[in-house]
Structure 1
Amino acid sequence: MVEYSLEKADMDLFAVYQVIYSGTDIEMWFDWNTRLNDTKFTDHCYWIMHEDVKIGGAIINSDTVIYPFIIPPFSDRFKFWDILLKCCKEIKHINGMLHDDVNILLSSGFKVNVVRQVMCRPADINNKVDLPDGFSMYALNEAVHVNELSKVIISGYAGGIDHEIYGVPNEDQVIKDNKYLMEVYKHRNLSIYIVNEMNQEIVALCIAGISENMPLGFAEIGEVCVLPQYRNKGIAEFMLRHIIATAFDYTPVVKLCVTVGNQAENLYRKVGFQPGPRFANMSKR
């Protein structure tokens, strides 16, 4: 009888195996050491063993599986998941699944919660466009009233796929999330907001910057939001291109992460963001 089992792995060796055999850079880190460190956030690392031979590995923390991979010459992905799920019957969540594994897990009683992808493009000082007439841009910092910003974000995302998936946040949660992002980017804050000159209403915002902890010093766009009645005027494109241009003095790359199905992805592609591999978070039905 063939014996399969889980065996606790050394975190450092596991990280090397995972980076090499995962076959993709989901986070688009573009850096060996960064990818190693990204894997080493926990010591809950396990080999999937066939008798005394490693055939794969995964981080298994309580009821969640993360970063699974297969080790050649073993190549049967159906068998891999059958083994892993039999060894870990309490598993309810599996994060960071690529397309091939999604199809397998759908037939194993899991459902897709959300599909995401990271997108990157070069920072470039020659990338600006003009802000449409009748609007003005200002730096977004702690002096801007948080309640105004939260109302723009709630209205700007209303009816979108993120609210559909995650639910509609209350104002307190949005304020908390905004404060967190501003704290993350305070090292090099690139955030801006747009005002309608006629009524001084805040109509759009983009929270972006460079975190002290961001690998390779890349810039990141955390929020892009335009009120529904001000869309299709070129405001969002202006904000994105402004961030891409102003980031040039500090970093070679601007990153963002988008929920697949968000119409904003078309705009991101238009301004030159290159998508990485799509990955899904899944849960047991």
Structure 2
Amino acid sequence: MEYRLVKSDRTMFSKYFATYYRNNWFRPSWDDLTKVLSNSDDGYWVYAGEDKAAGVYMPDRSIGLVFGIPPYSITTELIHFLKGYAITTWNLTKELQANNVLDEQESAYRDTGFVWIGSRQCMLRPTEQLKASMNINYVDRKPAIEDMSRIVEVFSKAYANGPDEREEGGYAEDLIRYFDQVPEKLLEASSVIYDRTTEEIAGACLISMWEGLPLVYSIAVLQQHRGERLATAMLDKALTVLEPDYPVLRLFVTRGNQAELLYKKKGFLSGGEYHHYKYTIE
């Protein structure tokens, strides 16, 4: 089958994406679904002959958010076409990234030479009033911009050598944006935990806003303070504070992050995984 790629109209592409791209269940409304890509010029149709067979999002020299348009589905042949188009059009010489690959699409990517890099899932849970569960040896304080260097320290140490590890400068840049944009209500639902005796920082949980609903921006506890149920206490606080104003709390978790088990125990429901693949150009 011969394929060809055609630039899409923003509005029509966003409607098709909202309809045919599975795994959008955690977004709050149809309007939010259709707004995800409504301002982007990186959407394309894949035509099979005269039929519109699929849609693909191609930003920053990567491919992702591929969806089939019935009766067509995502096949190895289609992914092979997209790979060849991207490499040739962008004159790539090292690698091609594929983001937000769904479970049922993985075999098509693997059969085309892509290699799995990592996976993450979105989870959500209803907010509700919960009993305070903070260990008496620790104190919970509302985060402030003055705490930024200590919060960076927590994230840097807690995520070291794990799937979410980043350069320290990245944490600082993200936190500057976080404190610049976070509403006061979400700061009240967030936590910075200190050891009551030593005044050393032990953990942090930051709540942000994403598409009109709260999201766990980051949560971490230093190794020496784990086992004290601090992460549980911070989540309980967030769920309680948010309950009068928001119906759910959402989060993303990377495969391999030990916090995934905690989230499941706390009643967070998974909507399935998104996978990141990479093709290395020889």
Shared fold, TM over 0.5: yes
Deviation, 1:22, is: 1.6
Unpaired runs of at least 5, structure 2 = none
Written as runs of structure 1 = structure 2, the 5 A alignment for 1:128-143 is 128-143=131-146
AA matched with 2:24: D
Amino acid of the residue matched to residue 172 of structure 2?
A: I
**Equivalent residue of 2:104, what SS?**
helix
Check if 1:245 corresponds to 2:247: no
Aligned partner of 1:178 among 167, 175, 178? 175
2:81 and 2:160 map into 1 onto residues whose CA distance is 42
Q: Which amino acid aligns with 1:143?
A: E
What residue number does 1:197 align with? Answer: 196
- Picking from 55, 62, 67, the partner of 1:57 is 55
Please say which of residues 224-233 and 41-50 is displaced more in the overlay.
41-50
Counterpart of 1:274 in structure 2: which amino acid? L
**Residue of structure 1 in register with 2:258 after alignment:** 263
1:102 positional shift: 1.8
Q: Secondary structure at the match of 1:219?
A: strand
Matched, 1:254 2:249: yes
User: Matches of 2:200 and 2:2 in 1, distance apart?
Assistant: 66
Deviations 1:247-273 (A, max 9, x none): 112211111111011110000111111
2:220 aligns with one of 222, 225, 241: 225
Aligned to 1:272: 267
**Using the alignment, how far apart are the partners of 2:230 and 2:238 within structure 1?**
13
CA contact (8 A) 1:123 1:252 kept: yes
1:116 counterpart = 2:111: no
CA distance in 2, matches of 1:152, 1:265: 19
> Given residue 45 of structure 1, which amino acid in structure 2 is its aligned partner?
G
Q: Please list every run of at least 4 consecutive aligned residues from structure 1 whose deviation after the TM superposition is greater than 6 angstroms.
A: none
SS of match in other structure, 1:161: coil
Alpha-carbon distance, 1:122 to partner = 0.8
Aligned residues: 272
CA-CA distance at 1:76 after TM superposition: 5.7
Report the TM-score, using the length of structure 2 for normalisation: 0.89
Alpha-carbon contact 1:46-1:57 (below 8 Å) kept? yes
Match of 2:158 among 152, 156, 159: 156
- Structure 1: state its 5+ residue gaps: none
The answer on whether the counterparts of 2:123 and 2:268 sit within 8 Å (CA) in structure 1 is yes
| Structure 1 segment 18-167 matched on structure 2, within 5 A | 18-25=17-24, 28-61=26-59, 63-75=61-73, 77-90=75-88, 92-125=96-129, 127-144=130-147, 146-163=148-165
Provide the aligned C-alpha RMSD in A: 1.9
Q: 1:281 is matched with which residue?
A: 276
User: CA distance change for structure 1 residues 154 and 17 in 2, over 3 Å: closer, same or farther?
Assistant: same
SS in 1 for 2:249: strand
Q: Residues 88 and 158 (structure 1 numbering): CA distance in 2 closer, same or farther, change over 3 Å?
A: closer
Once the two structures are superposed, residues 147-172 of structure 1 have per-residue CA deviations (whole angstroms, 9 ceiling, x without a partner) of 22222222222232222xxxx423x3
Summarize the Cα distance change of 1:263–1:62 in structure 2 as closer, same or farther, 3 Å threshold.
Answer: closer
User: How high is the TM-score relative to the length of structure 1?
Assistant: 0.88
Calculate percent identity across the aligned residue pairs: 24
8 Å contact 2:215–2:250 — kept in the other structure?
yes
> For residue 84 of structure 1, what is the amino acid of its counterpart?
L
Q: Following TM superposition, by how much is the alpha carbon of 1:187 offset from its aligned partner in structure 2, in angstroms?
A: 4.8
d(CA) in 2 for partners of 1:223 and 1:128? 22
